[in-house]
């Protein structure tokens, strides 16, 4: 594509409607340029400048005159110049791939290509933008941070990361400053995605479930990127997301959520007995958990009723035994908190028998009366 610098001819713009020659240096960015001439009037030139400035377009558009050399530089007047088949030469960036995807620990190139410039030694910078934070990757002709040992600049502007990690997933900005160009700065964003394979998922399968009861099987892993989806297998056969959608599983009653990895049986039946395992999958790979057995058993109603009756009988017998023992005095507490004594038994025909202490006390009273 042709690019150009624009110079007004050395003849002065004396009259508004006088046609003058606009010198144009035309050529490819990296090649030789030739001069061509575009006819233009001062009225047309000023009208373009006024219109563009009134509309708020451009980056400081103006026509400036250098009286000593008789040359005026017009910048950028982009729409009119391009309408004439020319373009102002300015630094311009492009990329062969703005959304690279790579697996963890692999090499990746972030393409940044200078499409056009007249500056022989432009300044190159790379920045990383992740979770709203911006940091330098390449600055002042040096790698920064942890990129020092695992990244390099290729072909003057492209960035190569030799050993990617999951933390490298981010937006990378290539910025080029070319002070000799009409537009001195340009930038381009590269969105890098580093995929991570899933690790072995953790699976939970109930060992035994009675017929007719609910059962939930769990499967999850949290290392993979993008996030994993999950599939369940019964006796090495893949299960659909809904048992009712496949005639083979119509007698069952399960629903599989591929996003969460849960397999829920509303009411298990004998055919659900078997070995189960789960596979976690994303764009980078897959991982499988170990098989686990789930047994579905029938409820023995007669046995349950018999067991309940036995328990009731045992409780009744224990209660009767306690009552009998209590009536016979086995649970009477004979311990006292002072001296323990027994009341003497009364002989037949005797209403009262004095104790030794009482006899001593009475004898003492009689002696004192004398």
Q: Looking at 207-221, 262-276, 338-352, which range is the least confident one? A: 338-352
CA distance 217 to 303: 29
Q: Is 327 helix (H, G, I), strand (E, B) or coil?
A: helix
**Pairing label, strands 185-195, 101-103:** parallel
The whole-number pLDDT of residue 309 equals 84
CA distance 355 to 13: 153
Q: Is the pLDDT of residue 135 over 60?
A: yes
The whole-number pLDDT of residue 176 equals 95
Q: Is the pLDDT of residue 326 over 60?
A: yes
In this predicted model, what pLDDT tens digit does every residue of 170-199 receive, in sequence order?
999 999 999 888 888 999 999 999 999 999
The whole-number pLDDT of residue 60 equals 36
Kindly report the pTM of this predicted structure: 0.58
Domains defined along the chain, listed by start? 3-83 (no CATH), 92-195 (2.60.40.10), 202-297 (2.60.40.10)
The whole-number pLDDT of residue 61 equals 35
How far is the first Cα of the chain from the last one, in angstroms, to the nearest whole number? Answer: 155
CA distance 22 to 32: 20
The whole-number pLDDT of residue 183 equals 81
Cβ atoms of 97 and 192 closer than 8 Å: no
As given in the structure block, the two tokens for residue 295 are 């047994």
Closest-CA residue to 92 (of 207, 14, 6, 175): 175
Q: Residues 6 or more apart from 296 whose CB is under 8 A from it?
A: 208, 209, 210, 211, 268, 269, 270, 271, 272, 273
Q: Is the pLDDT of residue 50 over 70?
A: no
Average pLDDT over residues 261-278: 97
């Amino acid at each position: 594509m042709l690019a150009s610098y624009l110079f007004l001819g050395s003849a002065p713009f004396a009259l508004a409607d006088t046609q003058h020659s606009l010198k144009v240096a035309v050529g490819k960015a990296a090649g030789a340029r030739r001069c061509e001439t575009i006819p233009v009037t001062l009225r047309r030139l000023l009208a373009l400048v006024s219109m563009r400035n009134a509309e708020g377009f451009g980056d400081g558009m103006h026509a400036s005159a250098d009286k000593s050399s008789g040359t005026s530089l017009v910048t950028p007047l982009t729409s009119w110049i391009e309408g004439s088949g020319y373009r102002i030469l300015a630094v311009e960036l492009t990329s062969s791939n703005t959304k690279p995807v790579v697996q963890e620990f692999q090499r990746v190139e972030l393409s940044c290509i200078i499409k056009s410039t007249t500056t022989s030694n432009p300044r190159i910078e790379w920045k990383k933008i992740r979770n709203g934070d911006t940091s330098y990757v390449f600055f002042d002709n040096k790698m920064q941070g942890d990129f020092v040992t695992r990244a390099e600049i290729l072909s003057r502007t492209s960035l190569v990361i030799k050993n990617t990690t999951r933390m490298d997933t981010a937006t990378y900005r290539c910025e080029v400053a070319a002070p000799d160009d009409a537009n001195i700065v340009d930038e381009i964003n590269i969105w890098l995605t580093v995929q991570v394979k899933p690790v072995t998922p953790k699976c939970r399968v109930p060992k035994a479930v009675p017929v007719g009861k609910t059962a939930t099987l769990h499967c999850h892993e949290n290392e993979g990127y993008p996030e994993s989806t999950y599939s369940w297998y019964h006796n090495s056969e893949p299960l659909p997301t809904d048992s009712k959608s496949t005639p083979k599983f119509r007698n069952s009653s399960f629903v599989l959520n591929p996003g969460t990895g849960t397999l829920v049986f509303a009411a298990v039946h004998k055919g659900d007995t078997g070995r189960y395992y789960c596979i976690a999958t994303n764009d980078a790979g897959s991982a499988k958990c170990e098989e686990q057995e789930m047994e579905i058993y029938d409820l023995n109603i007669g046995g349950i009723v018999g067991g309940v009756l036995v328990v009731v009988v045992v409780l009744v017998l224990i209660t009767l035994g306690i009552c009998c023992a209590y009536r016979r005095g086995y649970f009477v507490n004979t311990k006292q908190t002072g001296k323990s004594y027994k009341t003497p038994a009364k002989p037949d025909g005797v209403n009262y028998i004095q104790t030794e202490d009482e006899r001593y006390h009475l004898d003492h009273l009689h002696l004192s009366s004398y």
